[in-house]
Structure formats: C-alpha cells, structure tokens
Structure 1
Amino acid sequence: MTPTATARTALAGWPIVVGLVCVLPWLGLSGATIRLVTLIAILSLVVSGLNLTLGYAGELALGQVPLYAAGAYATGYIAINVVNDLLVCMLVAVVLAVVLGVVTGLPGLRLGGWALAITSFFIVLLIPSVINIFGDRLGGLEGLNGIPVPAVLGVELDGNAFYVVVIGVTACWFAVFRNIAVSRHGASFLVLKQSPVLATAVGTSTFATKVTVYALSAAPAGLAGCFSAYLDSFLSPSTFGLELAIVILAASILGGATSVYGAIVGAAIMEIGPLRITAFDKYSLVAYGAFLVVGGLLLRNGLAGVATRIGRRAAVRIGSRTAPADAAPTEAATVDFPAVQGLPLTVVGATKRFGGNVAVDDVSFEAEPGQITALVGPNGSGKTTLMNLISGYYTLDAGTIRLGDQVISGLRGHQVARRGVGRTFQTPLIPEGLSVQDSIITGRFARHRVSLLATALRLPRHWRALDAERRLSRRIMRTLGLTQQADTRAADLALGTRRMLELGRAIAGGSSAVLLDEVASGLDEDDIHGLVRVLTGMRDAGITILLVEHNFALVRALADRIVVLAEGRVIATGGPDEIAAHPEVLRIYLGQGGEITGTRIAADRLDSAVDTALDNAKADRA
C-alpha cells in the first residue's frame, strides 16, 4: 500500500513520541501517572490485535481475552516455578498466545459473522473453568499470588526500567504493525474483508490468510499478558471476563478499527475515562454498550476516521487553491500493457449439475491467446456458471479444463488464479480503504510474493518488490488513464472507472487468461470508448480473453470468436458475422430484433460508439 502524507508524518514523529514517553519517569511524573501510561500501553497491545482481525481482515474473532490470559498465566507460572526472566517469559507468552490464537481461530475457517463472534465470547466464558482445572498450579479461582519482580539475565528491574521495557516493546510492535498494515499483506487482509471471492480471484488462499491473521493478532495479546502479570504480581481469573472483552471491543471501535495508532487512542480513552472512575463500575456494561452504539453509528472508523476525513478535506481545500484553474484530467496515453505469454484455455465436456438441474451440459470450446472469445446467450444459459467452473469456484461433475498444458479443473480458486487465470465480476469488487494504485497492485500478490518477515522488518526484498510494483502500477494507470487518480479511494470511483480498475488488477498479475463477466454492463458512451481501447490493448499484448457479455453489438465488434450457449449447451460457435446470421441464434438469442441489454447507451448509438472506439484503438497501435 502507498503510505499517505499523514502516515508518513506519523512515522517520522514516532521515535520522538516514544522517546518522550520513555523519559516521563525522570520528568517528575507521579507513580500513579506512570502506572496509567503502562496500562494504556498494555491495553493498546491487546486492542491492536483486535484491529488486525476485525478492522483489517473483517473477522469477528473477538477472542483476544483468552490470549491475554494465556500470556499472563504462562508468565506467572514460569516466573514463580521455572525462571524469572522477562525475556524468556515474553517469548513463551507470545508462542503460547500464537498457538492458542490459531486454535481458537479455527472456527473462523468455517464460521463467519456473528456466529464466529458468539463462539469467541463463549471461549471467554470458559476462562475461569479452565484456570480452575489446573488448581494450585495457577492459583485456581482464588488467584495466582507471588509473581516476583521482573528480571533480565539475573538483574532485577526497578519500576522505571520495567516501564521503559513496556513502552519500548509496545513501540516496536506498533512499528511492525504499521509496516504490515501499509504493505501488500495489509492490503491482502482488506481484500479478504471485502470478499473471500475476491481474495480467491487474486490468488490469495483465504485459509492461509485467516491463519496468518489469527497468529499475528495473538502475538501482542501474549505480550500484554506478560506485562500485566509482572505489573501487579497477582492474577485473578475474574479479570479476564466478558467485561474486559467489551472494553477491548469498545476501545477498537472508538479509536478506529482500521487504524494502527487508533488502538492507542481507544485504549487511552478507556483507561483514562471509565476504567478510572469507581462509580462507573455499577453501570459499566450499559456504558460500554452506549460506547459501542455511538462509536459504530456515528464514528466511521472511530476517531481515527474523523481525523482522516478532516485531513482529507483540508488537503482538498489546499489543493483547490493551488491547482491551476484550467487543470483537467489527463487523457489516457497510448496502450502500453506489459507483454504476456498467453496460453490457450481449453474446455472439454464441461458438465455441472445442481441437484436435478443441469446448469452446464457437455460444453467444449477453446479460447486462443491474443484473441477475444465471447460467451453469449440468454439469461440462465450457464455463462456465469461456466466462468465459475473455470475459476475453480465450482467443481466439475464431468469434463476437463486446461490452461496451456496444465489441467486446472479440480484446483481450488486461488490455485487457478496462481496458474494465470484473472477475473472480473458483474459487480466490481473493490476493497474499502485502498487507493487506485494499491488496488491495482493487489493483482500481483499471489504470483510475486514477499514474506511477512521481510515486510515487517523492511528487508531489501520488500523494497525491491515495492519498487517493481509501483513501476508496474504506474505503467498500467497511465495506460488506463488513471494516473491522476492514483491516490483516490478506489471504492469511491464511478462504475466505469471501477471496471477499468478491475482490468488493471488482472493485468498486474500477469494473467495468461482473463475472464470478463459482463464488463460493459451499465457503462455510458465515454466508458465504452475506454473499454474497447483497453480490451484491444489486452488482446494485442497476447492475453487470452474470455468475454461474457449481453451487449451483442460490442461482442460482434470486438470478438474474434463467439460461443453461444442456451440451456447449458453450446448451440453455435464461429466468427461474429457467422453467429449474427445463424438461424438458431436468431431464434433463441436475437429473436426480439437483437435488443441490447446491460448498457445505458441506446442501441442506435452503440454501433457508432464502438466503431469510433475501435478506430481510436487502431490509431493508437499505428
């Protein structure tokens, strides 16, 4: 992801802020204030993990409390019975929390939405019972006493030294969190949040991504548990209850669930406000519920979202004052897509049944590289089902599908995408929170990978990949005419621009074959001009294009070969003129005078628009 100006400013000021917070004990602040800052740091660690799962990945896995408790009790037990070393306890707490994070997150691989949330809350309710099972070893329901003063390599840490360690470790985690959030991995989490189908289409395994999120979000909760155990030298199972889970959720929503530093803001609000007021205890659940309702309804992405919107409006005002009066969007440059080694897409005897209904019945055809092959037919003829079979979303009942020499039928959707099959959708799927440039880059993730470790630590491999991604995305944006909108929120774009963006995403992945599902639906005349220009450029680049489209005038003008489906079977295959004159096609598909659907252009204007666009595309190539 491309960092915004606000993010770059925050990054530059982060070491200064951390340094100032670290020296607070030597500036004369009271012990109570230092303890409060420590509690804010501990709670912010736990909230940041929830921000990863809920805010970035969209998973209602609200099980941060068990992970927090695991880190705390592991630290208490080891410090009392094994070795009192803060570094050892931190390591064990993190490892245990990560393992439990993956295990308790397993329901999320099958469940979703509120079913997953309820499962998470149920796990929270089990904490006292689980602790009581271990009896004296963990203190049972009476609590674990006698946790010693923290030490490192045999040297005890006084209160100020422990405080500095807590702040330093918290700061390091947030630096790592930030690096991940504004990277390709953070973008992949947002893609998953938008749609598991979209994640699959760009070659991301939803299983692997969810497991990564669960493991990653557990690490700060384990650290927080370790620090909490040493801070109070006592642990009680009643601390790790449903109320704490609601506090964490409220802090996430108030601070901003899709914000890195919003976790700190939300934690500070909860620690300085309601958690400090003794009289608040009586009405705590009611107040937390009010926080959740107000934050969820009135504050989109919490206070961080408010700050972002204010900053964006200020930037727009400044930009409008400084921009020249005659500034206008730049026209798209000559088509210059990266050359692709297109591969033939071969479908042989494809059959798919849903119960007693045969949706696709023994369909065979071949789409060649550097050509546009169109699938047309009336609604319910099996076009989209066939696209889903090719994409790996459905499993064939009979037949095979090959891309080049590889059999891709039977592979999972993300595996098909990694083999080189790109995809667009009837309704464009564009993740919230990504810019135009970031959205295009998401198409590259599956086939050009960078490890999470290289990204988090900003190793050379990360910078090389980032440089290549930016150069490629700029080239594609220039070709699509989107250069001036590179930093615009992609989800806010007009329909035609979002369709272009999906094409750019497929091209960025270097797909050998691209499946286009009603890509002209809802477009106006100007959009059709741009679409024709891009599709002809993709064909010239060598990509195998399979186009599902109701707009027969567009199909006839663009397609090299047309396959006509009716009731799940192929009724005709041939060139555009041959299909347009085919008696069976005329009867079934064009029997009402060839009326064009799925476009805002009147039929009598469409041919002219397409012809003009084709002439422009030819001029570009010349």
Structure 2
Amino acid sequence: MKAWTALRAVPSWAYPALLGVLLLALPFLGAGYGLTRQVELTLIMALIVSGLNLSLGYAGQLAIGQVAMYAAGAYTAAILSKAGTTDLLVHLVAAGLAALVVGILTGIPGLRLGSWSLAMTSFFLVLLVPDVVTILEEHTGGAHGLSGIPAATLFGYQLAPEDFYFCVVAVAILWFAAFRNIVASRHGIAFQVLKQSPVLASSVGMSIFRTKLAGYAIGAIPAGLAGALFANLDLFVSLDAFTFHVATGALAASILGGSVSVYGALIGAGVVEYGTSQSTSFQEYSLVFFGLFLLIGGVLMSGGLAGAARKLVARLDRAAGVTRGDAAEAPTRLGRIAGGTLEVTGVTKAFGGNQALAGAALRAEPGRVTALIGPNGSGKTTLLNLVCGYYRRDAGTITLDGKEIGTAATHRIARLGVARTFQTPLIPPGITVRDVVASGRYAADPASFGGAILRSRRFRRVQRRDRDRAAEALALVGLTHLADTEAVTLPLGMRRLLEVARALVAEPKVLLLDEVASGLDEAEVETLAALIRRIRDAGCTVILVEHNFGLVLSLADEIVVLARGSVLASGTPAEIEADPRVRDEYLGVNDEDDAVPAGKEEGV
C-alpha cells in the first residue's frame, strides 16, 4: 500500500501528460507506419468521442450529431486545401468554426423544442450529410469523394507523414487539456447540475437553454478538428467516413470508455479502432459489437471502463487510508446579508380544474423568519414555485423590493437574489460536497469558458472565491470534514444541510426553505434551527415552509397559514397557536371536542 500511496501523491494530470510524451516519442522508439497510423486514427476518433462525452456525458444532451460536425470539418479543410490554402493551422481553425456553426444552428431549434427534439434533430442531421454533399457536388466531389488534396503545410513547410503524426498528437494533447480544464471548472460542475435537474440549474441562476447550447456547441469543436486531421491524413474525403455506422461506433466508444470522463474517450476510441483495424470479423459484425459495448458500458459496468477504474481507485484509497484534497477549517462567521422585502398579493393559480391558490398573500421582510404552514395540498410549495418562476401565476402580483418578478424567468429571479432548497434534496452524482456548494455561485460571479480553458488570472480569482465561500458555508452547516466526499453518499439530514449551504453561498436576499427539517433527527433539527436564526440575524429574508409545528413556533417572527389555497390566518406564533381555526384545520384539534361536557365532573 506504500507504493499506492506514493502513486496517489503524484498530481493526477501527470499521468495523461506522460502518455502524451510517450505518444510523441513513438517514432523515435522505432514504431512503424502501421502503429503510428493506428494511433492517428485512434486520436481522431477520440476527438469525436470527447465531444460526445462533453455534450452527452456531462451536459446530459442526448445527441449523436458529432459525425455531421466531423464531416463539416473534413470537407472544410479539403475544400480550402484544393483552393490553395494548405496550412494545417488554418484548416483546424476553419474546421473548428464550421463545426461550431453547425452545432449552434442545429442545437438552437432542437433545444428550443425540448424533450427528445435534439436527439431527433441530430439523428436526421447525420442522415442529411449525403444529401448536402451531393447538392454541393461541385465542391465536395459528391458520391465519388474529393481526391487530389494537396499535402498539408505548416507555416510554409510541407509536412511529411512523420511530421503530420506529431501534429495529430499535439492537437489531441491540446484539446484534451482544454477539455479537462472545462470539466474541472465551474462550467463542468454546471453541466452536471443541469444534467441532474434543470429545475436545480435554474434555481442557482443558470440559463437552461444557454447552458445546454454551450455544452452541445462546444462538443462540436473537437469533431471539426478531427475532420480537418482526417482530410489531411489520407488526402481523400468521401461519404463512407461519415455514415450512421460511424456515429454508432462513436456512441459505443463513449459509453464503453465512460461518457462522464475526459480520458474515457481515449479508452473507448482505442478499443473501437483497434477492433476495426485488426479483425475482419469485427468489421463485418461491428453493429453487434457496438451493441455489446453499449450493454457492457451502460448496464453491466455503470460508468464504463473509466467508472470502473474510479471505483477501483476509491477502494484502494480506502485500503491505503489515502484522503483527497484538504478540509481546512474555515471561519464559521456569517457576514451581513442585505435582505429584500418579498410581497405576494392576491395570487391565484389553477391546474386544470384544481384551484391550487386563490388570492394567497404574504409579506416577508429582511431579518425576519416568515413561516408558511398548512395541511398537505394547501398550496405552500405551489406558492414557492410561483415566487421562483417555475409556474406562472394566473392573477396577482409578486414583488421583490417593490420590483415585479412574477413574469421573470427562473434563472433571472435567482440572480435577483432568491434562493431555495427543495422537499427532496437535488444533489448531482459524481461531484464533491465542496463543488455542490460552490455551484450555488455560478451566476453570482461569472467567468468565461475561454478563461476556464486558459486558466486566466480572472478565472483563478473567481475559482478561489468559489472555494473560499464554499468553505465558509460548509463550516456554518458543520460539513467541513466532508468537503471532498461525494455528495450523494451523504445521509438525508446532511444533504438537507448541504442544500442550505448551497443556497447561502450566493448571499441571497430571500431564502426559501421547503420542508428543510423533514427526515432530520432531534440533534439535526436543533443544528438547523440555530443556523436559521444566524441567517435571520445576518439580515436575510427567510421564508420557511415546514410541518414541524414546534420548530415553526420557535423560529418564526410571522406565520401565514394556508388552507385550500387561501390564507386562513396570519400573525405572531402566539396568535397562530391560539387561533381555533388553525387548531382545527392544521392541527386537527377541535376545541369543542376537547371541552368537558357539563355534568361530567359530577359523574352525571
């Protein structure tokens, strides 16, 4: 286990860097043309698969259009070369841009329509490639292909086959470094949050459409780069390289290698390309093999080969007592929060024939806890969803600091300072406790994709703030020691506290807590109550939806009681506790039933 501990002490990026150096050194180690060509084809396939991993594995967008972007990149490079522009760098830039344009133009309608529309759009996009090539036959060569492509050059120097091999490896290294930087940044976490739940993504200020489009469009770029490299590899481009069969192979490689993985794309592409080149039986029955890869990677081995490797590493870490990262204690201070006044007036909402809310109203002010209680089905969560923008009210107004927010998009309401927790905690799998909390700051401190890839000074500054604020929030809820633990493995009580930390990290004006004490034991409820008091005392506006009446009475400054979608009563805890209508409707206690009948005391 000492050897394993020593291996784990090496930075994780060192291993892929070592692989890159080894690939660059292959020609100097006596590798022949057959091996170097196999590496080139594998890396080209890996570029396509990596784009699929980004859009499907991380961002959760089911689409197989990478082959169309691959074709766009290949024909763009080939046409430029035939026109006299043979510089490989120009080809790569032009092919990447062409693939990006195809991704944006096809992604917009597919994502706007929602549901399975993007999957269907990308499916038909692959089928349209032959028609588009035939229509542009004068430039593309049509069904006969485009031959006679001049050899690539780089800054005026004509590239020999060995030189071109180095270029392929270098492009792959640079892209996978960029891919890794995206995935390991706040944008990668945002993609995983979106994949888990669009509702959760919008609640932390993410634009669902823009985030989905970013994942899909950026995933198109490596396919375009692969196309440019492919066109310059054999100096011939034909439709045979862009069939639905190739799209199926890329999908199989993604699932087998591990779609939620950066380097799983290399593993899956290596298996598919090696099988294709080494076995005629594999080529003849490739669809059967692809189906087996999908079954093995997607069902029998959840997470693919990369997922299996992560589980093995985790097991060895536990056996060797290896801990990841650090969990340094952060100060448990809670700075001043500038709360806002939230006012709901005469709000109604119906779902078909069911009147969920009928003239509901409340006013929540900074530095106060406003509790919203009522029996199941009284409209409490519906009211919170209207405040957050998940539903649109039928009538009435919702304002924050006097500004109407009832018609704003959910992510814009979140950016205005409304944060919330959920009845069932929404925690994305595969990310740490620290990253779950940091995701709450995604919209609070924007940083570009370019900055994430290049690790710019601004990006590093934002990343430090994310980690610092996350550490402070974790200290507040007592989860600092679990910062590097996978969040979904936490018990329910800790996941609820984790949601509070995620909501707090953006310093919201209004904090909506939806049954946050549900499932907590007595000690956890006490911890939660103390935390809510600190949040209130810091100046935040807190709205608490809760069935634990004792907790409500101990925390609330104002209580609003809903019954059948309308406000039954409102007032201080003492007033609400003494109200006979509340006791009857909410607590199920009828004061008349509790009264002692006349004459009983005398035994009559």
TM range (shorter): over 0.9
The one-letter code matched in structure 2 to 1:532 is: A
Taking a change above 3 Å as real, the CA distance of residues 577 and 8 of structure 1, as seen in their structure-2 partners, is farther
The residue correspondences of 1:50-89 to structure 2 (distance < 5 A) are: 50-89=52-91
- Which of 250, 264, 267 is residue 266 of structure 2 equivalent to? 264
Alignment of 1:262-301 (within 5 A): 262-301=264-303
Q: Which residue of 1 aligns with 2:213?
A: 211
Deviations 1:242-298 (A, max 9, x none): 111111011111111111111111111111123431222221111111111111112
- 1:155 is matched with which residue: 140, 147, 157? 157
Post-superposition Cα deviations, 1:56-107, rounded to whole Å, max 9, x if no partner, equal: 0111011110000110011111110242221211111111100101122234
Does structure 2 conserve the Cα–Cα contact (< 8 Å) formed by 1:335 and 1:534? no
The change in CA–CA distance for 1:524 and 1:83 in structure 2 (over 3 A counts) is: same
Cα distance in 2, alignment partners of residues 241 and 293 from structure 1? 22
Residue 305 of structure 2 is matched in structure 1 by 303
**Corresponding residue of 2:33:** 31
What residue in structure 1 maps to residue 532 of structure 2? Answer: 535
Corresponding residue for residue 236 of structure 1:
238
Q: Distance in 2 between matches of 1:7 and 1:108?
A: 45
Partner amino acid, structure 1, of 2:295: V
Runs of 4+, deviation exceeding 6 Å? 5-8
Contact 1:61 1:105 in 2 (8 A): no
Structure 2 counterpart of 1:601: none
* 1:296-445 equivalences in 2 (<5 Å): 296-319=298-321, 336-445=333-442
Question: How far apart in 1 are the matches of 2:120 and 2:41?
Answer: 27
Q: Which has the higher mean CA deviation after the structures are superposed, 541-550 or 199-208?
A: 541-550
Q: 1:7 to 1:460 in 2, by over 3 A?
A: farther
Contact preservation (8 Å) 1:350, 1:364 = yes
Name the structure 2 match of 1:22: 24
CA contact (8 A) 1:253 1:295 kept: yes
In structure 2, relative to structure 1, the CA distance for the partners of 1:6 and 1:298 (3 Å cut) is farther
Equivalent residue, structure 1, for 2:596: none
Are 1:250 and 2:252 an aligned pair?
yes
SS at match of 1:564: strand
Instruction: Give the 5 Å matches for 1:540-579.
Output: 540-579=537-576
Q: Deviation per CA, 1:178-219, whole angstroms, max 9, x where unpaired?
A: 111011000000000000000000000011101111221111
Whichever residue aligns with residue 43 of structure 2, its letter is A
Give the distance between the partners of 1:216 and 1:6, measured in 2 at CA: 31
1:102-149 Cα deviation digits (max 9, x unpaired) = 122234424556554343222212211221111232111121111111
Against the structure 1 CA distance between its residues 593 and 269, is the aligned structure 2 distance closer, same or farther, given a 3 Å change threshold? farther
Asked if the contact 1:256–1:304 (Cα under 8 Å) also holds between the matched residues in 2, the reply is yes
3-state SS of 2:371 partner: strand
**CA deviation digits over 1:361-393, x for unaligned, max 9?**
222221111111111111221111110110011
Identify the match of residue 195 of structure 2 among 189, 193, 200: 193
Higher mean C-alpha deviation, range 298-307 or range 490-499 = 298-307
Distance 1:434 1:544 in 2: 30
Tell me which moved more, 267-276 or 499-508.
267-276
Aligned to 1:286, the other structure's residue is in SS state helix
Describe how 1:477-492 pairs up with structure 2 within 5 A: 477-492=474-489
Tell me the equivalent position of 1:106. 108
2:508 paired with 1:506: no
What is the distance in 1 between the residues matched to 2:448 and 2:228? 27
**TM-score, with length taken from structure 2:** 0.93
> Which AA in structure 2 matches 1:301?
G
Q: Helix, strand or coil for the counterpart of 2:227?
A: helix
Out of 201-210 and 526-535, give the one that drifted further. Answer: 526-535
Structure 2, unaligned stretches of length 5 or more? Answer: 1-6, 592-604
- Cα offset, 1:407, TM superposition: 2.1
Q: Secondary structure at the match of 2:11?
A: helix
The residue type paired with residue 303 of structure 1 is L
More displaced, 118-127 or 298-307? 118-127
- Map of 1:620 onto structure 2: none
- Provide the secondary structure at the position in 2 that maps to 1:591: coil
| Aligned partners of 1:336 and 1:537 also within 8 Å | no
AA aligned to 1:169 is V
**Corresponding residue for 2:579?**
582
- The equivalent of 2:179 in structure 1 is 177
Contact 1:62 1:245 in 2 (8 A): yes
Aligned counterpart in structure 1 of residue 492 of structure 2, from 490, 495, 498: 495
Structure 1 range deviating more: 101-110 or 181-190: 101-110
Q: Is the 8 A contact 1:375 1:565 kept in 2?
A: yes
* Cα distance in 2 between the residues matched to 1:593 and 1:419: 43
Query: Which one-letter code corresponds to 1:427 in the other structure?
Result: T
Checking the alignment, whether the CA contact within 8 Å between 2:196 and 2:428 is kept in structure 1 is yes
Query: Counterpart in 1 of 2:96?
Result: 94
**Cα shift at 1:559:** 0.9
Residue 171 of structure 1 and its aligned partner are, at CA, apart by: 0.4
What is the letter of the counterpart of residue 39 of structure 2?
A: V
Offset at 1:338? 2.9
Assess if the C-alpha contact under 8 Å between 1:333 and 1:481 holds in 2. Answer: no
Partner of residue 444 from structure 2, selected from 437, 442, 447? 447
Q: Equivalent residue of 2:370, what SS?
A: strand
Are the equivalent residues in 2 in contact too, given 1:205–1:414 (CA < 8 A)? Answer: yes
Q: Offset at 1:526?
A: 2.4
Relative to structure 1, the CA distance from residue 8 to residue 411 in structure 2 (aligned partners, 3 Å threshold; closer, same or farther) is farther
Q: Report the secondary structure of 1:522's partner residue.
A: coil
Q: What are the superposed Cα offsets for residues 210-252 of structure 1, whole Å, 9 maximum, x if unpaired?
A: 1111221111000000000111111111221111111101111
User: 2:112 touches 2:209 (CA, 8 Å); kept in 1?
Assistant: no
Determine the C-alpha separation between the residues in 2 that align with 1:462 and 1:94.
24
For the residues of structure 2 that align with 1:153 and 1:370, how far apart are their CA atoms?
Answer: 65
Pair 250,491 (structure 1): closer, same or farther in 2 beyond 3 Å: same
Structure 1 residues 120 and 7: CA distance shift in structure 2, 3 A: farther
Secondary structure at the aligned position of 2:358 is classed as strand
Say which of 215, 226, 234 aligns to 2:228: 226
Q: RMSD of the alignment, in Å?
A: 2.1
What code does the residue aligned with 2:63 have?
A: A
Extract unaligned runs of 5+ from structure 1. Answer: 324-328, 595-622
1:435-464 CA-to-partner distances (Å, cap 9, x unmatched) read: 000000011111111111111100111111
Q: Is the 8 A contact 2:57 2:259 kept in 1?
A: yes
Task: Provide, for residues 310-360 of structure 1, a one-character-per-residue CA deviation record: whole Å limited to 9, x for no partner.
Answer: 11111112228x99xxxxx99x99952232111111112222233343322
Question: Structure 1 stretch 67-76 or stretch 378-387: which is displaced more?
Answer: 378-387
**1:304 positional shift:** 1.0
**Which whole-Å CA distance do the structure 2 matches of 1:126 and 1:248 have between them?**
18
